[in-house]
């Protein structure tokens, strides 16, 4: 079973609340859910829609065909009715112009009870059409509206909607009993949770779509976590504040999107030169400049791996999905401190704003490693030098005040081992080499090979990074079911680029298909630069929307020769 619900209307009509309630209730009934927001950069009006896919399969991406459309206005009907399946339904508060439209008198019913709760009538109709019991849905509604009067109004309207129609779909029983063993969360929440459990102690950011959800998550929980969260005056302040906190020994993070990251780039290099650990979430949207604030893209890849002038060690990790976003954020903190360098979580709007059911996180396997010096075991009388030369390039890291009578000096100039400013040519070369040794060590020891699904030696190899994982995996499985020899390789570490798995899967006669959300094939060029492999096909999408499974499937069928 693979059903696709779409809720369409204008900003301010409560689409997001409906999406949250429906998604959570379906997940708690035991289904797998994938839910994605398509919204405009405005507070009221316009046209927005939420897509919720659910069933017993594995869902990682949106689908084109709609089974039930909930249209909160006339535009909602007009914009999406052509996508509704012949046996599907359209729920609409208005005249039924064709037999697929079920007229739902939501406003009229709500007028007598609570006009603000009109949308809940749609929920009732929806649940009856899907032949579901109301139990889980009622619980979710109660959690969403803690005030008792509001709860009562909503439950009354829910029942009214439920009783107004007859069941329309034969729906499979969920394969799980309830949500046990699983979670349901958005990409930004996964990043926030990953940071919280990694022990983030300081988060500063300037609000910017689509990264703001991370700031919201941490700000809301700062009291419980006992951490500092600050909305900075601009992105330059945000990243510099985080560096100050990191210098003090705290685990620090900032988050933004491409425009904000443009402002951060000088301080990004500062983190590199100062060798100060920092985690940065960069959730991409189409650019340059303001671009399309609420849309998705993977156009910042080149920019981020090359950000700031000159050369320094850094790491860029592009989480594949909501589950991966949690683990990769956790990992980013350990790596930033181990190598004393900036680590970027390179996400995008599709990842940030999509929610999915994921297996519960393996909390026992998460270990925080701080890599600070142990002040009790510092050799007696040894001078502390922040940039002491070592074999692997990693100097002992102390924070100010940690060692009595010693000072910690970090500097944005090239510096001696003490941190003191230097223009000496030998020191410059030695420091560049020291930083390069750190990069080499992390490339060798801490690079994660991409995820692979497919036969040992595929004839066609789909390759992508980050959030294209979902659509790629679904399409690979569909094509494999049809008997094609197709594999898919999804990278999360993109810089430095791991190459072993790619070299293993890509034989001389393999067709390499590189799939990405930008217009020039940045990832494909990166692969060529580091492996000398060229893409046989580039499947690029740069209209601000994510790949849907159907679209990618069709392009794989039309464009690739098997």
Partner 1 sequence: MLEKDIYEPDRNTAWCPGCGNFPLRKALAEALAELEIHTDDFVMFSGIGQAAKMPHYFKSNAFNGLHGRALPPAIGFRMVNPTMKVIVESGDGDTYGEGGNHLLHNIRRNPDIAHFVHNNQIYGLTKGQASPTTGTDIKTKVQPHGVTGEPFNPVRFAVGMRASFVARGFVSERDQLVKLMKEALQHRGYALVDILQPCVTFNKVNTYKWYAQNSYILNDDYDPTDYQSAVQKAEEWDEGIPLGIIYREEKPIFRDKFFNLSDELLVDYPRPVDREEFMREFS
Placement of tokens 């620090």 in the chain: 252
Which of residues 159, 222, 417, 531 is near partner 1 by CB under 8 A? Answer: 222
Q: Which is nearer to partner 1, 376 or 456 (CB)?
A: 376
In whole angstroms, how close is the CB of 202 to partner 1 at the nearest point?
6
Q: Which is nearer to partner 1, 84 or 227 (CB)?
A: 227
Contacts of 291 (CB under 8 A, 6+ apart): 258, 259, 285, 297
330 touches partner 1 by CB under 8 A? no
In whole angstroms, how close is the CB of 204 to partner 1 at the nearest point?
7
* Residue pair 399/372 in contact by the 8 Å Cβ criterion: yes
Q: What is the CA radius of gyration of the chain?
A: 26
Alpha helices in 456-509 (DSSP H): 469-481, 500-505
Q: Which is nearer to partner 1, 40 or 236 (CB)?
A: 236
Residue 380 DSSP label: T
232 touches partner 1 by CB under 8 A? yes
Which of residues 208, 270, 318, 343 is near partner 1 by CB under 8 A? Answer: 270
Token pair of 369, please?
Answer: 């490693």
In whole angstroms, how close is the CB of 28 to partner 1 at the nearest point?
8
The H-or-E segment that residue 75 falls in is helix 74-80
Q: Interface with partner 1 by CB under 8 A: which range of 30-38, 151-159, 280-288, 360-368?
A: 360-368
What is the spatial distance between Cα 24 and Cα 349, in angstroms, rounded to a whole number?
A: 20
What is the spatial distance between Cα 52 and Cα 70, in angstroms, rounded to a whole number?
A: 11
- Bridge partners (DSSP) of residue 280 are 254, 344
Q: Which is nearer to partner 1, 184 or 553 (CB)?
A: 184
Q: Interface with partner 1 by CB under 8 A: which range of 96-104, 199-207, 454-462, 467-475?
A: 199-207
297 touches partner 1 by CB under 8 A? no
Q: Is the dihedral of CA 156, 157, 163, 167 positive or negative?
A: negative
Considering only residues 385 to 424 of the shown chain, the ones binding partner 1 according to CB under 8 A are 399-401, 404-405, 407-413, 419-421
Q: Which is nearer to partner 1, 4 or 201 (CB)?
A: 201
Closest C-alpha among 299, 304, 240, 193 to residue 518: 299
What is the spatial distance between Cα 327 and Cα 193, in angstroms, rounded to a whole number?
A: 9
155 touches partner 1 by CB under 8 A? no
Site map for partner 1, 168-197, x if CB under 8 A? -----------x--xxxx---x---x--xx
369 touches partner 1 by CB under 8 A? no
* Residue pair 33/184 in contact by the 8 Å Cβ criterion: yes
Q: Which is nearer to partner 1, 199 or 544 (CB)?
A: 199
Which of residues 1, 165, 171, 225 is near partner 1 by CB under 8 A? Answer: 225
DSSP-assigned letters across all residues of 2-43? EEEEEEEEEETSSHHHHHHHHHHHHHHTT-EEEEEEE--S-S
Closest C-alpha among 191, 190, 123 to residue 153: 123
241 touches partner 1 by CB under 8 A? yes
| Count, residues near partner 1 per rule CB under 8 A | 63
Secondary structure of residue 510 in the 3-state scheme? coil
In whole angstroms, how close is the CB of 281 to partner 1 at the nearest point?
17
201 touches partner 1 by CB under 8 A? yes
* Residue pair 317/333 in contact by the 8 Å Cβ criterion: no
Binding footprint of partner 1 on the chain (CB under 8 A)? 179, 182-185, 189, 193, 196-197, 199, 201-202, 204, 221-223, 225-228, 230, 232-234, 236-238, 240-250, 252, 266-267, 270, 274, 360-361, 363, 366, 372, 399-401, 404-405, 407-413, 419-421
């Amino acid at each position: 079973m693979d059903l696709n619900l779409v809720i369409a209307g204008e900003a301010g009509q409560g689409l997001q609340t409906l999406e949250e309630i429906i998604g959570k209730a379906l997940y708690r009934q035991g289904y797998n859910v994938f839910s994605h927001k398509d919204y405009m950069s405005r507070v009221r009006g316009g046209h927005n829609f939420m897509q919720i896919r659910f069933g017993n399969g594995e869902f990682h991406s949106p689908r084109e065909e709609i089974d039930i459309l909930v249209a909160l206005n006339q535009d909602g009907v007009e914009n999406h009715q052509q996508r509704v399946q012949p046996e599907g339904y359209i729920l609409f508060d208005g005249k039924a112009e064709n037999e697929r439209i079920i007229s739902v008198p939501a406003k009229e019913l709500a007028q007598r009870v609570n006009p603000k709760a009109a949308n809940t009538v749609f929920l009732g109709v929806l649940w009856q059409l899907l032949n579901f019991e109301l139990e889980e849905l009622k619980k979710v509604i109660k959690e969403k509206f803690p005030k008792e009067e509001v709860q009562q109004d909503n439950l009354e309207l829910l029942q009214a909607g439920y009783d107004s129609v007859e069941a329309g779909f034969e729906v499979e029983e969920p394969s799980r009993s309830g949500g046990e063993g699983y979670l349901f969360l958005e990409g930004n929440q996964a990043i926030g949770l990953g940071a919280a459990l990694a022990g983030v102690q300081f988060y500063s950011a300037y609000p910017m779509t689509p990264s703001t959800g991370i700031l919201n998550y941490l700000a809301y929980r700062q009291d419980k976590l006992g951490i500092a969260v600050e909305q900075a005056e601009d992105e330059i302040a945000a990243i510099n504040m985080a560096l100050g906190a990191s210098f003090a020994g705290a685990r620090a993070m900032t988050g933004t999107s491409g425009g904000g990251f443009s402002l951060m780039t000088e301080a990004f290099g500062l983190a590199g030169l100062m060798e100060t650990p920092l985690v940065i979430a960069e959730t991409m949207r189409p650019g340059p400049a303001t671009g399309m604030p609420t849309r998705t893209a993977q156009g910042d890849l080149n920019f981020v791996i090359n950000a700031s002038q000159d050369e320094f060690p850094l790491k860029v990790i592009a989480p594949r999905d909501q589950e991966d976003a949690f683990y990769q954020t956790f990992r980013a903190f350990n790596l930033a401190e181990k190598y004393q360098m900036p680590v970027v979580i390179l996400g995008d709007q599709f990842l940030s704003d999509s929610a999915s059911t994921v297996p519960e996180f393996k909390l026992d396997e998460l270990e925080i490693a701080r890599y600070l010096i142990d002040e009790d075991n510092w050799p007696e009388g040894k001078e502390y030098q922040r940039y002491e030369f070592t074999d692997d390039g990693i100097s002992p890291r102390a924070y100010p005040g940690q060692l009595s009578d010693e000072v910690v000096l970090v500097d944005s100039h090239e510096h001696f081992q003490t941190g003191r400013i230097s223009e000496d040519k030998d020191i410059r070369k030695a420091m560049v080499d020291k930083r390069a040794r750190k990069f080499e060590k992390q490339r060798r020891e801490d690079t994660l090979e991409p995820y692979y699904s497919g036969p040992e030696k595929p004839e066609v190899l789909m390759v992508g990074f980050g959030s294209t994982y979902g659509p790629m995996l679904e399409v690979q499985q569909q094509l494999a079911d049809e008997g094609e020899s197709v594999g898919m390789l999804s990278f999360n570490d993109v810089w430095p680029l791991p190459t072993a798995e790619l070299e293993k899967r890509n034989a001389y006669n393999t067709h390499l298909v590189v799939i990405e959300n930008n217009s020039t094939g940045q990832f494909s060029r990166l692969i060529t630069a580091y492996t000398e492999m060229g893409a046989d096909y580039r499947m690029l999408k740069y209209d601000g929307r994510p790949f849907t499974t159907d679209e990618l499937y069709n392009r794989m069928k039309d464009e690739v020769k098997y």
